[in-house]
Structures are given as structure tokens and as C-alpha cells.
Structure 1
Amino acid sequence: MSLAVFNERSKSIFRQIVETYLDSGDPVGSRTISRADGIDVSPATVRNVMADLEDAGLLISPHTSAGRIPTDLGLRFFVDGLMEVGNLTREERASIKGQCSATGRALEDVLSDATKALSGLSRCASVVMVPKQDLTVKHIEFVPIAIDRALVVMVAEDGSVENRIITIPPGLPPSALIQAGNYLSTRLVGRTFEQVRGGVESELQSRQAELDELTTKVVEEGLAVWGGGDDKASLLISGQANLLENVQAAEDLERIRQLFNELERKKDLIKLMELAKDGRGVRLFIGAENNLFSLSGSSLVVSPYMNGANNIVGVIGVIGPTRLNYSRIVPMVDYTARVIGRML
């Protein structure tokens, strides 16, 4: 099915129906459309066009309402062929750039703030796929911050700094932290964690590291905190509370509850976002087009971001009900991805 089979009047009426629905969230009636600017036809004519659009699977009449709302297929036709993408305001651009400032900060912190900027401006939830970094180490040390916690500070060859908090045995002497830092630094400098992990773990297990038991535990915690499992990326989510702001009915609340459940299945969401890394530019997943959102009826608007070598390394976007303001969200996601790319 293509909108090319409809005349310009049908396309104008369909566009007006979708835009009115996205703005109000309510089923749209023929009288409302007939009174809209640029729609110079009677309510009866609008009803006939609505019936044709419903037969084509682009509209549906919910419950016993006389109005119509777009289906997932209808929303797809709208965003692919009829939507006019808006422009971000100067204030919105400044807000995104300000919160994504990368000077002297870890990549994960920058991406976390980027999701907060997106969720705040979109009033939806925001997600970002954080690539697993394999940094070459320049220096590593352990700094005590509490009786049972220490900060692992890793400085990479590119000048970036990564900090992680680990648990340490209560009352651990400072000398054990120094020894742990020296031990890892000797083996890591000029190499990555993945390159030395196997050898260090073998040394610790065979007790060839010549470290006491407490220092060994610190080293093991230091290795573990930088991952090393099979996951290639992690996921940061911000702004879930925004999704509850416009809940008006019990069925809306149930859909949001289901979306929260879907967000908990981060591995499934990462797989979905990985699809956006296959190409450049903004990509939309609308409602039941993807099995992950078949129950909650949600949409995901995402765009990949690139590093300094112009390689795609991650994906960022906005998630919410299918009634998103796509014309505003699309440029917002696209701009944020480009800002992140320039920061990297």
C-alpha cells in the first residue's frame, strides 16, 4: 500500500488527522478536520476519505468513538512521506551542547548527560548505547574514599580518565592499595585490560603474583570493574518518570507499565538499537513493527553517533508512546548524535 494511490485531498486530510492526534492524543472526528486550515471540504467528504483510509489500514476507530486514530502502519506512512521535520530552537541547541560538554570527563558521563538533555527536552525517556571501550592504559591507581570503598582511577594514553568505585576489605592498609596499583600498572601500561586480563588472572590463581590475600582481592576487583564479559555494550536510560506525566486512562497506565518491563530487558533493547548502527541518520521503530514493543505500543527514535575516526560506535535516542511529536523528536535526536560525535 502506498499513499501514491490517494489524491492530494486524501493526503492532506490524512496528514491533518495524524498531526491533530499527535497533538491531542484523542480520536479525531470529521467535523474537527473539516474546520482545519487548508481543508476546504464538508464533514461528509472527510468521513468518506476516513473510510477509505481505514480500509487501507492507515486509520482505526477505537472503541465506539466516531473519531479515528492512525495505526502503526499509518504512522509509518506519515513519518516516511508526509511529515515536515521541524527545526530546533537556539535554546534547545544550546541546552544539548551545554550538557554534552566533554572536557576532562569520561565518555559514559558525557553520554549520561546527553540522555538527560534529550529526556528533558522531549519529555520522554531517553536511551543511549555505550560502546565497550578498549583503552590503552597510561596509569592506574587505587584511592581510598571510605572504610570499605576505593576509587580506581585509570588514565588512558589518549588522555581520557575513567573512574570506578570498588568494594575493599574494611580496614585495608593504604600500602595494599599502592601495591595493587603498582602491580596492575606494571602489566597494563601501553596495553589494554583485555590484552592482559587472562595473564593476570592466571598469575593470581596460581599465586605467582607474589601479592598477599588482601591485595589480591583489590586487584581482582580492579579487573572486574572494567567488565570483560560477553556484552559488547551497555545501556543508559533516563527520564522514565516523564512517561507518567500524560497518563489519562487505565489502559494508558498499563501500556506504560509494560514499557517499563520492556526497558528492563536491556539485552533485547540493545539488539534493537544495534540495527540502527547499520546505517547513518535517524531511524524509527514504531509500535508493533518490532516485537519488543508489540505489547506496550511504543516508538523508538534513534541515531548512531561516530568517533573521531568517523566510525559508528554507539546509538542514542528517545523512547515513548507512539504518539510522539516525531517532527520535533527526529531533529532533536539527530542533533544530539552529531554533537556527541564532535565531542568524541
Structure 2
Amino acid sequence: MPKAPEEFLSVLNTRSQEIFKKIVERYLDTGMPVGSRDLSRMLQVGLSPASVRNVMADLEDLGLIAAPHTSAGRAPTQDGLRFFVDAMLEIGSVDERERSQITQHIEGQARQGKVEDFLTEASTLLSGLSQGAGVVIATKSDMVMKHLEFVRLDPERAMAVMVGQDGQVENRIVPLPPGLTASALQQASNYLAHHVVGRTIAEARRHLGELRAEQRAELDELTQKLVDDGLATLATPIGGGQPTVIVRGRANLINDAMASDDLARMRQLFDELESKDGLLELLGDAESAQGVRIFIGSENKLFSLSGSSVILSPYKDANDKVVGVLGVIGPTRLNYARIVPVVDYTAHVISAMLARK
């Protein structure tokens, strides 16, 4: 388990902290390790390369830096990056131009009515602003119904056409009780249409269950069976309730991998995202978070094999419920100070859009 920031701060004097910070900043800026000679020129307080090497040796003993491959320079380790992010990172702010760009683009898509459209736009924007990959992971949320009707396909099946208040349309096949007449099918449609509008399917099931028996007696036995069985079918999530994943900007990660001869790492990441393994756990982590979360390398199993960093923030619906996360995936040398506030601001814009739905 990594040490807490306080443990490192207790053993690092001002000089050691400054040298460590310079190593990390150079790595985040260039992706390259830095040697003692270059460091001695970068420090405000003059130190010889030999003195810098002594400090670097202490930092290496603490596990904060290491020599990558055969390089004479040093770069931060995963523990070193975590310590830097937790104890030394100075978060910037989103400039007015970027705030305007994020808000206008997402609001423009939101006016089209479909939630997935502006979530996709958010992913695209985050990719462009970070030069990494933008990612949105959305829960399979229950649709608030605007309209529901049954259309007979054959004597044994009907199609339930569901229209959500957000404009989303979903069709599901529902089995029909043997002998159900056309008038009974229409009666079931009318009955459900009356009771589901403004509710999710789950809420409609609870609502109908609370109605007194005499209120439900207006339906004959076969029609009542269709209503009950139909609602049970519609309440079953498509695809087992797996979250929706939207990734834009994969080429940015591939280009970075090509520069580091590590394309296999990126292929592994894409496979992990496509399989969706670990995404529900990631959503669970976000649900308990108060704001932006930063995962570096192996800190989250979804990204551990690819060695990537991810910056994520939850977004919420009109009921202040976390319904997904969005953020940026990139190499461990992401510009955390700039990207963290961009991700945070984008999550707030998405939450505001969903609150208006």
C-alpha cells in the first residue's frame, strides 16, 4: 500500500521536495527522465550535480523516483506521481474560452433532445481539450415514460413501444396470453398509458401494486395478465443493465503509444473498455466520491494492465443521483493541473443539462 503524503513530507526537507517537484514537472511536460546536471541548472538555489545526485538517491530509496530502462536520468514512479498529485499539485482553473466552448457545445446537443448526443459531445470535447481520450460511462437509467403502447406482431407476441420524456424510444417484445383479443390488447395499452406517464416502469409497477383490488377489477383476467407480465418484461434491463461506454479520441492514445513503442498497452486498454469489465465498480467508486477522482496506473484494475491514468468526475440527474462518470484517459504524464478542472466543469455542465430534462 502506498504511503500517505504525510509520511513522505515528514522525511523530505525543502530541498528534497523542490528537486522531486522539478523531476515530476519535467516528466509531465516532456515524458522524459531528467538527470542531475539538468536539475542543478533548473533549481533556484544553486546546487552542484553531485549534491543533486545525493538527493535523487534518497528519493529513489523512498520509491518516489526510478531510472526507466537504461537511462541515466530519473522519472517519478507511480507512488511518486500519487504523492505529487496528493501533496504538491496546484490545480488551475478553466479559462473563459474553454468554459464557453464546453457549455455552448453541450447545450447545443442537449437541445436536440437525446441524452446520448450530449454525452457523446462531452466525450469529444474532453478528448480535444486534453489530447487524450474522452470517456463517458453512463448507467442504464430507467426511462421516464411519455408514451407506451402495444402493437400485435402475431397471435403470441406484441411489440411494446416505449417513448421517454427525453425523446428516447425503446421497443421490446412482450408475450401475449393465449386467446387475448384485439380489444383486450387495446384496453391494456390504454390502461398502462394512463398509469405509466411521468413514471419509470419500476415506479409504475409499484404504483399499480398499491391500487386497491376494486380499482384493478376493471380489467378481465387475460388483460390483467398482459399488464402484469408486460410490466415485468419491460422492467428487465436490456443487456443485463451493463453501462453505456462512450470513448472519443482513441487516436490520441495510439499516437502517444507509437511514440513510446507501447501499442500493446493501448490495445489492452481498448479491450478492457469494450468488455466493460470493472465499469460498474468504477461507477461505484464515483458514486461515493465528492468530486474529481484521479487513478494512476494500477490503482484501478480497469486500467492497471494498460498503465494509463484516468481523471474522472461523477455527474448527476435532476434528483441529485449519480448516474454516470466522465473524464479523460491518457498516459501517466497527463497535465493533471489543467485537466482536473476541465473534467470537473464538464461534469457540472452535464449535471445541469440533465436537471432540465
Band of TM-score, shorter chain: 0.7 to 0.9
In structure 2, the partner of 1:135 is 143
Instruction: Confirm whether residue 338 of structure 1 aligns to residue 344 of structure 2.
Output: no
Q: 1:184 to 1:320 in 2, by over 3 A?
A: farther
Structure 1 residue 321 displacement after superposition: 1.5
Structure 1 residue 139 displacement after superposition: 2.0
Q: Take 1:16 and 1:109, find their aligned partners in 2: how far apart are those partners? A: 42
What are structure 1's unaligned runs of at least 5 residues? 143-149, 168-175, 200-207, 210-219
User: Which moves more between the two structures, 306-315 or 59-68?
Assistant: 306-315
Structure 1 residue 40 displacement after superposition: 2.8
Instruction: Confirm whether residue 154 of structure 1 aligns to residue 163 of structure 2.
Output: yes
In structure 2, the partner of 1:145 is none
Secondary structure at 2:141 match in 1: coil
The one-letter code matched in structure 2 to 1:306 is: K
In structure 1, the partner of 2:316 is 306
The one-letter code matched in structure 2 to 1:51 is: A
Instruction: Confirm whether residue 64 of structure 1 aligns to residue 70 of structure 2.
Output: yes
Secondary structure at 2:38 match in 1: helix
Structure 1 residue 334 displacement after superposition: 0.7
In structure 1, the partner of 2:177 is none
The one-letter code matched in structure 1 to 2:116 is: E
Q: Deviations over 1:18-67 (max 9, x none)?
A: 01001111111112222225353222222111111110001110121101
In structure 2, the partner of 1:204 is none
Provide the identity percentage: 48
Secondary structure at 1:313 match in 2: strand
The structure 2 residue matched to 1:274, chosen from 278, 284, 303, is: 284
Q: Take 1:258 and 1:229, find their aligned partners in 2: how far apart are those partners? A: 23
Retained in 1: the 8 A contact 2:278–2:301? no
Secondary structure at 1:41 match in 2: coil
Q: Deviations over 1:184-204 (max 9, x none)?
A: 56524442334679x9xxxxx
The structure 2 residue matched to 1:105, chosen from 102, 113, 117, is: 113
In structure 2, the partner of 1:241 is 251
Q: Deviations over 1:151-201 (max 9, x none)?
A: x67142xxx32145899xxxxxxxx9xxx999756524442334679x9xx
Structure 1 residue 261 displacement after superposition: 2.0
**TM-score, normalised with respect to structure 2:** 0.75
1:247-326 correspondence to structure 2 within 5 Å: 247-249=257-259, 251-326=261-336
Structure 1 residue 299 displacement after superposition: 1.0
Retained in 2: the 8 A contact 1:269–1:292? yes
Retained in 2: the 8 A contact 1:108–1:130? no
1:32-51 correspondence to structure 2 within 5 Å: 32-36=38-42, 38-51=44-57
Q: Take 2:267 and 2:127, find their aligned partners in 1: how far apart are those partners? A: 18
Q: Take 1:326 and 1:183, find their aligned partners in 2: how far apart are those partners? A: 55
User: Which moves more between the two structures, 282-291 or 240-249?
Assistant: 240-249
The one-letter code matched in structure 1 to 2:262 is: D
Report which of the two structures shows the higher radius of gyration computed on alpha carbons: 2
Secondary structure at 2:72 match in 1: coil
Secondary structure at 1:245 match in 2: helix
In structure 2, the partner of 1:187 is 192
Retained in 2: the 8 A contact 1:17–1:28? yes
Q: Deviations over 1:293-320 (max 9, x none)?
A: 3321111111111223333222111112
Secondary structure at 2:240 match in 1: coil
Q: Take 1:19 and 1:85, find their aligned partners in 2: how far apart are those partners? A: 13
Secondary structure at 2:278 match in 1: helix
In structure 2, the partner of 1:93 is 99
Aligned length: 309
The structure 2 residue matched to 1:4, chosen from 3, 10, 14, is: 10
Secondary structure at 1:105 match in 2: coil
Q: 1:190 to 1:245 in 2, by over 3 A?
A: farther
Q: 1:269 to 1:284 in 2, by over 3 A?
A: same
Structure 1 residue 224 displacement after superposition: 7.2
What are structure 2's unaligned runs of at least 5 residues? 1-6, 151-158, 174-181, 209-221, 224-229
Secondary structure at 2:298 match in 1: helix
The one-letter code matched in structure 1 to 2:336 is: Y
The one-letter code matched in structure 2 to 1:9 is: R
The one-letter code matched in structure 2 to 1:154 is: V
Q: Take 2:164 and 2:299, find their aligned partners in 1: how far apart are those partners? A: 43
